Structure 1
């Protein structure tokens, strides 16, 4: 897996079952395969194409075999998104949030809704470790004399209990601090990294994914970037550019190694990886469960209510990929604009720009396009992983994806990409 290559992941513990050969094998992004979803990408195809945005990860991978609560196996971590980078972390940005389905958590959203502003970073982790990450952000802020400014941290989660010892509470405040300190602009890691380490998306290995759009000058030339932590959706509904990829790739469903069934009742419907025969006649209890967190960033001058309109377009991209906002899915989104809100002098009002509402359609389209691409990038970047209780989740096979798209005549020639593989970026 590409995540094992980063030199900044201070708590990375690699198990023999993951394999060093896996770590060296770069996986393609959507555009490398000719899948564009329309629109013009930014130079990196990442949320960090938006000037000022920085992203960092701490990844925790350790242990194998049966779960021993508190000991592992660990397949989890933390991801940090800093709208103005570390140097401008105390300067707020206009922001808004929206929840398609609320079976999840994102702390700090009440103040965003009240004030229209986001103060500090956006952190993403697993369901049970929100508290530790929140504590880490506040401790980090105290060390910078910013405890008041960053006093209501925004921390979001998705559930990684299929592959991770979720009740071991492995993420500590120090891991959140490491993610913040590792945040950088430029190329970013995707896949099984940071908060996305143990996630599952449409029945394949999921995780962190990103994409961007650069609007034409006639539409303002603005940049919009999307980052997802992808842990939602059923296999049978998974769709790419209108192609029923989930139906075409019906095999290689999550399973367990060996003869001992997983201990969790939620995983009782999984079959052995060595079993023969077709898929179960009915979806497993896990089918369609999970969550997806999506962050939208732009340098377009938007007010909070306009950013709310962007956030409400995110589900259109999810729906195109086969998401329904299922009952046990936490689908929560945050959008922010990086335009400066700082007044020239403290006793003077801040002057902000605003894009007229009749010029928002290109940004709506960019949001829907980049959301789809970021989801697919998260899946393509994530290689097969074996985690807690020997459960194995397979990575989306790029060749199978390409074959399905060609079958339906939906694949354009792959463009030449100058971007190095994300795992080679040195971050």
Structure 2
């Protein structure tokens, strides 16, 4: 395992029976790219940007999308137009809460410079956020327009960096250091092989569950985590199944439901959102055929959260606060039992 971080599958944790794509990442969906820009000035700044860029998306060629807010305590820029029109017309950017508005402006500026946008007079930038203020000086708003542009311009297919990277740099979930995580599933829907991929920005409260077993920091020999009621989660789901916006909204619901599997408590101050988008325009899948795709999303989101925890690193941040990583060997020993 030298040269890369452990993931859930390396510990034998593989939710469900469906197979993942080759990278076990949202980028297994053809035409989906991911870019990160980490903004780190220890000990006080641990922040950044993550961009999910579907090929060809634009106001003139929007992609079908659905949105579900499990708990709407958040600053999801562009949410109402997704709900109203069932489409996205820009890449999706994730960042820190107080940097969401600067990121939206930077996304608009970047797009207006792209070919084909010379006559654009309206854009709906989509920017999600989680609050990294436990570990990072959030009031300094360290994410700048150049960071957003770098994440967009370096977005690539293939393996996706996880843990303390990009928009996940300063986050914690379920009592441990967390961050960005991703996973995918291959499934047959309506007579066609398709892929569903998930990417999470994990920062939510609760008690971690792995395979139905609760896992606290004390169980694996590390210090206590942050307030278990604090935090949020942004989930992005992509698929090349030919779905309409209503069906993608149904997928988005399952993505939020999946957080219960890993122990989320959906607290008062938790912004639990999912956006599901399709890379193929136009419906064509019957509702009765969606069951396997629902399963794929539930399993991929569960594994993505676990990957976000296992890839993260113990971080000492603003005001001396610390979030400890979930130790892989400690978790392995706990799951094996005496």
User: TM-score range, shorter-chain basis?
Assistant: over 0.9
Change (3 A) 1:312 1:149: farther
Match of 1:102 among 60, 72, 76: 72
Distance 1:149 1:301 in 2: 29
**Cα distance, 1:142 vs. partner?**
1.6
8 Å Cα contact 1:120/1:150 also seen in 2: no
**Cα distance, 1:406 vs. partner?**
1.6
Q: Which residue in 1 is equivalent to 2:184?
A: 212
Q: SS where residue 179 of structure 1 aligns?
A: helix
Change (3 A) 1:59 1:108: same
8 Å Cα contact 1:136/1:177 also seen in 2: yes
Q: Which residue in 2 is equivalent to 1:75?
A: 46
Match of 1:224 among 180, 196, 206: 196
Confirm or deny that 1:47 pairs with 2:26. yes
Q: For the pair shown, which has the larger CA radius of gyration, 1 or 2?
A: 1
**Cα distance, 1:88 vs. partner?**
4.7
Match of 1:165 among 113, 116, 137: 137
Q: Which residue in 2 is equivalent to 1:200?
A: 172
Q: Which residue in 1 is equivalent to 2:95?
A: 125
Confirm or deny that 1:385 pairs with 2:315. yes
Q: SS where residue 223 of structure 1 aligns?
A: strand
Q: SS where residue 313 of structure 2 aligns?
A: coil
RMSD over aligned Cα atoms: 1.9
**Cα distance, 1:63 vs. partner?**
3.2
Distance 1:328 1:353 in 2: 36
Confirm or deny that 1:115 pairs with 2:93. no
8 Å Cα contact 2:57/2:91 also seen in 1: no
Query: Which structure carries more strand by proportion?
Result: 2
Gaps of 5+ in 1: 1-23, 65-72, 256-283, 341-351, 409-427
Confirm or deny that 1:287 pairs with 2:228. yes
**CA-to-aligned-CA distance 1:228-253 (integer Å, 9 cap, x gap):** 0000023xx21011111227626423
**CA-to-aligned-CA distance 1:46-87 (integer Å, 9 cap, x gap):** 0000000000011011132xxxxxxxx210000000122xx5
Distance 2:13 2:121 in 1: 42
Confirm or deny that 1:304 pairs with 2:245. yes
Name the TM-score, length of structure 2 as normaliser.
Answer: 0.94
| Aligned residue pairs, count | 333
Confirm or deny that 1:27 pairs with 2:2. no
**Cα distance, 1:391 vs. partner?**
1.5
Gaps of 5+ in 2: none
Distance 2:190 2:92 in 1: 32
> Following superposition of structure 1 onto structure 2, how do residues 273-352 of structure 1 map, counting pairs within 5 Å?
286-340=227-281, 352=282
Distance 1:35 1:403 in 2: 13
Q: Which residue in 2 is equivalent to 1:144?
A: 114
Distance 1:244 1:78 in 2: 31
8 Å Cα contact 1:141/1:150 also seen in 2: no
8 Å Cα contact 2:189/2:285 also seen in 1: no
Q: SS where residue 312 of structure 1 aligns?
A: helix
Match of 2:41 among 53, 56, 62: 62
Distance 1:89 1:189 in 2: 26
